[in-house]
Amino acid sequence: MALAKQPPVLTARALNRATLDRQLLLRRSPRARMSVLGAIEHLVGLQAQNVKPPYVALAARLADFDPQELSALMASREAGRLVTMRSTIHTHSAADSLALRQLVQSGGPARELRMFQGGLQGVDLDQLAVLARELVEDEPRTMKQLREALLVRWPHADPQSLSIAARCLLPLVQITPRGLWGSSGQVTLTTAEHWFGRTADPTATADDLVLRYLGAFGPASVKDMQTWSGLTRMREVFARLRPQLLVFRDEKGVELFDLPDAPRPDPSTPAPPRFLPEYDNLLLSHADRSRVVAQDEHKSLTWRGNQSYPTLLVDGFLAGIWQLAQTDDRTGSDARATSQARANRATLTVQLFAPLGKAQRAEVAEEAERTLSALTSAATYDIRFGRFLD
């Protein structure tokens, strides 16, 4: 009896180059080929727990990126910030804000809500959702304002649990000026439907979600997709899609799926250095992160508690962390939190996990200067290499 043919094996380096290509990190995408909005949708959203990461992420991926382009999309309500995958804040297009939120609801917001049920005794969650919607659509509110208004109806509930429940039950968008480039503003919320002036696409399916994930992060396993989305029991969706997908294995024997027409570059394809923001989805969207993190001990070096550092890729793999500081030399004051226009010196400090050769170090410095040029209006740049981390 003939043995069943085994799927082809993809090495960690082959997976690295394929994923980098999907992530627009092998080469910056020309603007004629991909707009800012197109990139956001192609990447299925950008991590946005802080204000600046989406801008840094796009500067690493798009040629001649101007932060004002993303800012303008948010100001015109073509893009926005809300809780989606894994119950974390992402920047999405208006269309995806509604479609994706309903698809990943059970894998993030619903799971987070269960963590706060102890503070919601006696609270009818259906009523809470109705009242919270009325409140934020009548007038955008901060979490504090929403909490205080809900306490009037449920005075014996835990205040924090009430506001978190509202955020978990409803697709709440952080309205501008929060998230705009060079601006500041506290988190103020209304519903996605109200802010974008549209309702969720009722035709979006889990099948669509898997295909989009593979287009941005594949080749990938079922567990990889579940890690990215927070969803469980996705194996049956992959089984349904199997006839239209290619099947591979990684070096550990794990089954991987991919779109037939997706790019899978030669593993020897050069990968230039890239400066990524904290929480970039490239590092968070696979159960097995060895396609980007070559050494397990490097994982812990990118975190301080539950806070992520911005990261550096060299030859496609995690190689260090970095920090950007901006100062106004006329006063000597630290300008990290001030307007971009007021800073006339920007300093980018790189901390490597291991020494680099002279050529690679020069490439990192060149990429650092390109990053500073895209993200600051400083008159002068200073690029420093700090101590090695181990």
pLDDT along the chain (390 residues), means of 10: 78 98 94 90 96 97 96 98 96 95 92 93 96 98 97 96 96 96 92 94 91 98 97 96 98 97 97 97 96 82 84 96 80 47 79 93 96 89 81
User: What was the pLDDT predicted at 304?
Assistant: 82
User: What was the pLDDT predicted at 152?
Assistant: 96
Say which residues have a Cβ less than 8 Å from residue 71's Cβ, sequence separation at least 6.
179, 180, 181, 182, 183
**Contact indicator for 77, 53 with CB cutoff of 8 Å:** no
User: What was the pLDDT predicted at 104?
Assistant: 94
Residue 78 structure tokens: 């073509």
- Separation CA 10–CA 332 (nearest Å): 52
CA nearest neighbour of 81 among 113, 121, 45? 45
- Separation CA 336–CA 176 (nearest Å): 20
- Separation CA 3–CA 277 (nearest Å): 47
Q: What is the CATH number of domain 203-258?
A: 1.10.10
- Separation CA 15–CA 256 (nearest Å): 10
CA atoms within 13 A on the CB side of 63: 9
Q: What residue ranges of the chain are covered by domains with CATH 1.10.10?
A: 203-258
User: What was the pLDDT predicted at 337?
Assistant: 44
User: What was the pLDDT predicted at 329?
Assistant: 54
Residue 378 structure tokens: 């400083």
- Separation CA 269–CA 306 (nearest Å): 34
User: What was the pLDDT predicted at 378?
Assistant: 83
User: What was the pLDDT predicted at 53?
Assistant: 97
The structure's pTM equals: 0.93
Rg (CA), the chain: 22
What is the bridge-based pairing of β-strands 333-334 and 317-328? antiparallel
Helix (H) or strand (E) holding 257, with range, is strand 255-258
